[in-house]
Homo-oligomer: A and B are copies of this chain.
Amino acid sequence: MKVKIVGGPSSTKLAELISLQGNLPIVRVGYKRFPDGEFYFRFEEDIEGQDLLIVQSLYPPSDAHILELLMMIHGAKDLKAGSIGLFIPYLAYSRQDQRYLSGETISSAMLADLIQATGASYLYTVDIHDKAVLHRYRIPAFNLTASKELALYFERKGLRDPIIIAPDDEEDARERARVAAETIKGEYDCLTKRRDRQTGEIRTLEKRLRVSGRDAIIIDDIISTGGTAANAVRILKKQGARRVFVGATHALLIGNALELLKEAGADEVVGTDSVPGDVAKVTTANLILKALEEHRWL
């Protein structure tokens, strides 16, 4: 039996694309915000016994998008849907999976509990910042990667002797860079970051890289305020990179992040439809469709 797609308010276009590309029916829904900001959601067709895939990314304002997601799951459960799958391209609150200081609340664990308590059956996300967060889930929870799709986007730019750069040398960043490099049959290398445990501040070290005269592509999972990525761009430019591209799965681009990156010398900044907006030039629709097929949900 085919899953039916439910497009949440944060990801309506992505849901439509998944429906179109996968030839999957989309469930008619209605929603609004009341004047006091309270959310209202209605399934406008019978979903009893139906297998659903709710598509809702949790980019800022994350708390509002989370409440919307929980209301859709809770409603689907209450209305006796069959399985309730989730595609959450950007899983908010996934930066911290442990207590750095005593007494801290672990928001990733809370979100996992909320998603499970409301009745979700399984979960897919994309390029989660800390994979350990997925261990908080007792339901099947999978991480997909958009590295290949980002690399393919830049390949169309006519790259000269390209090199993929991971913004840090941790395992996940290195793996994303490896996949991107493999896609464009190029090399990859990693910058190095140091985090101050008390302030949480991140500093990128001025490591020597073989980028002189070459097109460099930074492949990152999240760009938030853009400070760290802008530093990476600056380092690559200083070392003689010809062009510097920035590809991020989740281009949150808080405040003037995009200007910061351009000022640092970035030739183009590209994200996925995990976060709708001007830079969202790569879709995650094929990722989830492939995963659903592999896992036999289709």
Contacts and interface: CB of A to CB of B under 8 A. Distances in A.
A62 to B, nearest CB: 6
Contacts of A109: 74, 78
Interface string A54-76: 00000011111011001110110
Interface in A36-92: 36-47, 60-64, 66-67, 70-72, 74-75, 78-79, 92
Interface size band for A: 35 or more
A188 interface: no
A178 to B, nearest CB: 27
A70 B35 contact: no
A183 interface: no
Contacts of A158: none
Interface in A1-55: 34-47
Contacts of A254: 35-36
A239 interface: no
Contacts of A40: 104-105, 107
A60 B75 contact: no
Nearest to A79: B103
A204 interface: no
A275 B56 CA distance: 31
A38 B93 contact: yes
A95 interface: yes
A32 B236 CA distance: 33
B225 A70 contact: no
A225 B33 CA distance: 14
Nearest to A226: B35
Contact of A74 (B95, B102, B113): B113
Given A63-B37, A74-B110, A224-B36, A42 B105 contact: yes
Contacts of A67: 63, 66-67
Contact of A103 (B43, B106, B255): B43
A283 interface: no
A60 B37 contact: yes
A35 B253 CA distance: 10
A71 B63 CA distance: 11
Contact of A71 (B42, B74, B105): B105
Given A35-B224, A93-B38, A105 B74 contact: yes
B35 A71 contact: no
